[in-house]
Amino acid sequence: MLVAVMSDTHHGDKTNNLPSLLLKELEKRKPDLILHAGDVTSAELLERLEDFAPTVATRGNADHLGLPEEQVVDVEDVRIGVLHGHQFFSLNAQFLTLKALDMEADVLIFGHTHRFYHDTYSVHGNRVVLLNPGSPTFPRMDSAGFALLEVKGEKVRVERVRFW
Residues 6+ apart with CB under 8 A from 39: 7, 8, 9, 10, 60, 61, 62, 63, 84, 111, 112
At residue 15, the pLDDT reads 65
Spans of all domains in the chain: 2-162
Q: pTM of the full predicted structure?
A: 0.95
Percent of the chain with pLDDT over 90: 82
Q: Which of residues 17 and 126 earns the better pLDDT score?
A: 126
Residue 89 clears pLDDT 90, i.e. is over it: no
At residue 47, the pLDDT reads 94
Q: Which of residues 3 and 16 earns the better pLDDT score?
A: 3
Kindly indicate the confidence band of residue 145, based on its pLDDT and cuts at 50, 70 and 90. very high
Least confident of 44-48, 75-79, 104-108, 148-152: 44-48
Determine the 3-state secondary structure of 27 from DSSP: helix
Residue 91 clears pLDDT 90, i.e. is over it: no
Q: Dihedral sign for Cα 148, 152, 156, 157, please.
A: negative
Kindly indicate the confidence band of residue 68, based on its pLDDT and cuts at 50, 70 and 90. very high
Q: Write out pLDDT tens, residues 100-120.
A: 999 999 999 999 999 999 999
* Residue 15, burial from CB neighbour count under 10 angstroms (0-12, 13-18, 19+): middle
Mean pLDDT of the chain: 93
Kindly indicate the confidence band of residue 124, based on its pLDDT and cuts at 50, 70 and 90. confident
At residue 55, the pLDDT reads 98
CATH number belonging to the domain at 2-162, selected among 3.40.50.720, 3.60.21.10, 3.40.50.2300, 2.40.50.140:
3.60.21.10
